[in-house]
């Protein structure tokens, strides 16, 4: 059974810092990995999707890497801003026939202070 773990569970930093959020998964036979952010009481917003054949994806100040062999992904946030405060979730898709069956980590709660 796939298990996804995110470290740290919570992070509080001053504005401007560069951050690294970690995600690990127990079964390396994943198809894709997707990072999301969730604001309190809201739905999930997709940040980055990394296909299993890729090593990293970038979008603006965000960069996500994937190392399937070690079962790890990292989300790097450059020059953090108060608007980045949210819960960040990583999720894995197990295989090519399970389009919507994501297994999620518990999330990292990020607070960026002005």
Partner 1 sequence: KAGVTQTPRYLIKTRGQQVTLSCSPISGHRSVSWYQQTPGQGLQFLFEYFSETQRNKGNFPGRFSGRQFSNSRSEMNVSTLELGDSALYLCASSPRPGALRSYEQYFGPGTRLTVT
Query: What does each C-alpha distance from 18 to 21, 75, 80 come to in angstroms?
Result: 10, 11, 6
Say if CB 88 and CB 35 are below 8 A apart.
yes
Q: Which residue in 51, 58, 70, 111 binds partner 1 (CB under 8 A)?
A: 51
Q: For residue 112, what is the enclosing H or E element? A: strand 108-113
- Of 64 and 80, which CB lies nearer to partner 1 in the complex structure? 64
**Binding-site residue total for partner 1 (CB under 8 A)?**
26
Contact residues: partner 1, CB under 8 A: 31-32, 34, 36, 41-46, 49, 51, 89, 91, 93, 97-107
């Amino acid at each position: 059974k796939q298990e996804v773990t995110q470290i740290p569970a919570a992070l509080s930093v001053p504005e401007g810092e560069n951050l690294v959020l970690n995600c690990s998964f127990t079964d390396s036979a994943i198809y894709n990995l997707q990072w999301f952010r969730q604001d309190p009481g809201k739905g999930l917003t997709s940040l980055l999707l990394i296909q299993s054949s890729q090593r990293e994806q970038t979008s603006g100040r965000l960069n996500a890497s994937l190392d399937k062999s070690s079962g790890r992904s990292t989300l790097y946030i450059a020059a953090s801003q108060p608007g980045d405060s949210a819960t960040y979730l990583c999720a894995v898709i197990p295989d090519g026939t399970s389009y919507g069956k994501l297994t999620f980590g518990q999330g990292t709660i990020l607070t960026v202070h002005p």
